[in-house]
Structure 1
Amino acid sequence: MVSKFLFVLIYTIYGGFMITQSSTDGDVLKPQHIEIKAIVLYITTFFQSTGASLIWPITTLYMHNILHQSMTISGMVVMGLSVTMMIGNWLGGRLFDHWSPYKAMTLSVGVALATLLMLTFWHSWPVFAIFMLILGFADGLIYTLLNAYAATIQSVDTRKIFNFQYLFMNIGVVAGTAIVGFLFDYGVKYVFGGASTMYLVFFALVVKYFNIKGLTKQSARAAARAAKSTFKTPIVIYAILGLAFAFYMSYILWETVIATHMTDLGMTTKDYSFLWTLNGIIIIFGQGLLNRIIVYLPLRLTVLGGSTLFAISFLVLIQAKTYPMFIASFIILTIGEIFASPQIPAWIDKLSDPNAKGHAQGLLTMIVSLGRAIGPLYGGLLIDSGSYKILFASVFGIMIFFVCLTLILNTFHLKK
């Protein structure tokens, strides 16, 4: 019901999804090559995101509070999940460029669905941890493949494609996090059952709509051209990847150690869950407004400006002791996220070899997963040896360092 309401809301407010661009005389521009329909990409992203958002908010809490595992063990499992996701990210790019995008996507979603169905019935320790590692690998494949499919679309401005994909992902986050707080109270099997239902719909959509005739040959030709290409990757790409690493290493702290920090200060699981619902709602409306002007804003402004705001939110978090302070910090973080997060893959796509879409997006999602893998370990080490304040201050410093480095290297790149 929640997801249906959000679908209708977004469609009504923004007047459709700008699936095609029009020429000045009103004629629709025909895609010049083979690509997936944008609306199919958005809807499948929504169902995948809703299913995933039923799982990750409760992973650490379930292991620590229900399965009675230590925070160290829980953090190691979350880190392992991110590592297997990173492997999936890399493999997803390879499979898209060198095998079959459709077969790779079908197999990946099928493995994720089977794992969630098994988790519905078997979720004790250590079975839970093993299945979560498998799920991380499958989702890693899925994230890269979805981004690679998105990067092939040329009938719509690339920045709008990634923005709308990001928008639908966050509609899923709103739906998932709004539901999980209630399902978890009735038992974790209902959480996994709900996620299985979302992935079942996702799987059906992939089987029906992702078998794009000619896409495999098109990807193979592009990969062959990339192998012979003399394209030199601009050094600024590596700075952007470093920024993405810092961004998601910081972001994962909200999904892991900050949840424990809030409960230690007397706040409830529902208080924490509401923050993610609020995050999704702000992104839905903010991203919709941003989509109206995004083509007029330089990529460096949206990514670097948004990342700076994101970093500033951790300065606020240093002083946070009450729930309103956590809300304020998360709102600032979310505004920064709106500007930066969906534009990072668009910037990478713009600067990378046009014949290696899968490789570029696979590298980015691998770096994102690496950040998510390192984050819990980094957070745990600084909390054990120092304090939450030292952790949040260090995260701010790392983010600002990569913002400045990216700005400097991009300036040199533009002068060439």
Structure 2
Amino acid sequence: MAIQSSQQDGEALKPQHVEIKAPILYITTLFQSTGASLIWPIATLYMHNVLHETMTMAGMVVMGLSIMMMIGSWVGGHLFDRWNPYKSILGAVALATAMLAALTFWHSWPVFAIFMLILGFADGIIYTLLNSYAATIQSIDSRKVFNLQYLFMNVGVVVGTAIVGFLFNHGVQFVFGGATIMYLIFSVMVFRFFNLKGLAAQATKDAAKAAKSNFRTPVLIYALLGLAFSLYMGYILWETVVATHMTDLGMTTQDYSFLWTINGIVIIVGQGLLDRIIEKLPFRLTVLGGTALFAVSFLFLMNAKTYPMFIFTFMILTIGEMFASPQMPAWIDHISDPNAKGRAQGFMTMAISLGRAVGPLYGGLMIDGGSYKALFASMFGIMMLFVVVTFILDRASRRRKRRLAN
């Protein structure tokens, strides 16, 4: 939607603003998330059980995937700010779709790993560009925009994880074929609706302004990047280490997978309710409170021995995630350089990818050298450290603003 600037009453210098339509953003996020959610749950399982690679090798590929996503995130941020947003996302989606189509027919070792790494790079660009497009929306409160985008992303996760087991039982080619279909629909929507007239020019002007700008990046942004890093470092442990921990305690893989089904349902229902009040809640309450609650789940995890206790612990994590995850990019957007939205979202996605890359390695080292309890206790400490640092910096920032206002 383009908001034309007036030529009267001294408003001639007001720049034209271009933004993506929110419903289009949400629907494309849904299809992208569904496609991606068909891949990540079976990647390690496929490499170890079907391709007969070691868990160490599978872990290295997963780490490489996260690193490639991190590189893609950095590239995506620069492409949005300095080149053409539409051509950037169209190219990235085309690359990702091509890799999924190729995996449908060629998925032996090491071709599988190579194609997955390229897919990770493309997805890193896509995630950053989707967030950057979301950041262009000014007609809706940014907290509500990112909250609803997160909601649709989780609907995609529920749909993808619900059907991936059925497809995998019939052959891995059906998993990659299903993901390819989702990305083809995603590609069509990007081609049809993301070519916003004036957005490339707006991005170019913003990049020029950012280059000349004396905007000083708040230290608070770096604290928020650290917070995102710690949150997703803990999150990836639930996707990897906790599964092994639960089976060691006598629970089944079905018990573990059911946790994610509950997680998705609670987020879909809860996020819809939260959307009604999100604009009234300050960032420090949603992000810091949610992250603290997420961290507390690791304290309960230290003593979880039964399945009901794991469900209770995961509910604590889910509620914390529901408040913190969608509001982190919104807070970053709120305090970053208005002329460098893509770069800010790129850094955010890089921090997330770095956390997901470091988490499995850190978890393995802590378990080999200590215990599960030591790992969970240390994660609580790491996350709370970033919560406290971010709280202190945010408080100092608000005090400084009050002094300047007076």
AA at the equivalent of 1:110:
A
Cα offset for 1:263?
Answer: 3.1
**Matches of 2:250 and 2:97 in 1, distance apart?**
36
User: Which residue identity is paired with 1:69?
Assistant: E
Mean Cα displacement is larger for which, 373-382 or 65-74?
65-74
Unaligned segments of structure 2, at least 5 residues:
2-14, 401-406
2:389 paired with 1:405: yes
- Contact 1:48 1:198 (8 Å CA) reproduced: yes
CA deviation after TM superposition for structure 1 residue 272, in Å: 2.4
Q: Which residue of 2 aligns with 1:6?
A: none
- SS of the equivalent of 2:42 reads helix
Alignment of 1:8-407 (within 5 A): 33-407=17-391
The 2-side partners of 1:196 and 1:267 are apart by 33
1:262-300 superposed Cα distances (whole Å, 9 cap, x missing partner) = 333333333322222211111111111111111111100
Corresponding residue for residue 403 of structure 2: none
Number of aligned residue pairs: give it. 387
* Paired residue type of 1:216: A
Q: Runs of 4 or more off by more than 6 Å in structure 1? A: none
Could you list the per-position Cα deviations for residues 359-395 of structure 1 after superposition, in whole angstroms to 9, with x for gaps in the alignment?
Answer: 1000111111111111111111111111211111111
Asked whether the equivalents of residues 51 and 194 of structure 1 are also in contact (C-alpha less than 8 Å), the reply is: yes
CA-atom RMSD in angstroms: 1.4
CA distance in 1, matches of 2:254, 2:192: 37
Indicate the larger mover: 320-329 or 294-303: 320-329
Is the Cα contact below 8 Å between 1:56 and 1:255 reproduced in 2? no
Partner Cα distance (1:406, 1:59) in 2: 35
How far apart are the structure 2 equivalents of 1:187 and 1:315?
39
Structure 1 counterpart of 2:133, which letter?
Y
**TM-score, normalising length: structure 2:** 0.93
**Taking structure 1 as reference, are residues 343 and 221 closer, same or farther at Cα in structure 2, changes over 3 Å only?**
same
Deviates further, 262-271 or 401-410 = 262-271
CA distance in 1, matches of 2:232, 2:26: 22
Whole-Å separation in 2 of the counterparts to 1:97 and 1:151: 12
Q: Which whole-Å CA distance do the structure 2 matches of 1:372 and 1:243 have between them?
A: 13
TM-score, with structure 1 as normaliser: 0.91
Query: Letter of the aligned partner of 2:38 in structure 1?
Result: L
Once the two structures are TM-superposed, the CA of residue 171 in structure 1 deviates from its matched residue by 0.5
Q: CA deviation at 1:133?
A: 0.6
Does the CA contact (< 8 Å) of 1:57 and 1:273 recur in 2?
no
The alignment partner of 1:353 has SS state of coil
| Residues 260/118 of structure 1: CA separation in 2 closer, same or farther (3 Å cut) | farther
Cα contact 1:256–1:376 (8 A) shared by 2: yes
In structure 2, give the amino acid aligned to 1:67.
L
Q: Residue deviations 1:23-51, cap 9 Å, x none?
A: xxxxxxxx962111100000000000001
| Deviation, structure 1 residue 237 | 1.1
> 5+ unaligned residues in a row in structure 1: which ranges?
1-18, 20-30
CA distance in 2, matches of 1:261, 1:201: 38
In structure 1, C-alpha distance between the alignment counterparts of 2:113 and 2:329, rounded to whole Å: 30
Give the Å deviation of 1:71.
1.9
What residue is the counterpart of 1:13 in the other structure? none
Does the 8 A contact of 1:32 with 1:155 survive in 2? no
Residue 5 (structure 1) aligns with: none
Q: Counterpart amino acid of 1:100? A: N
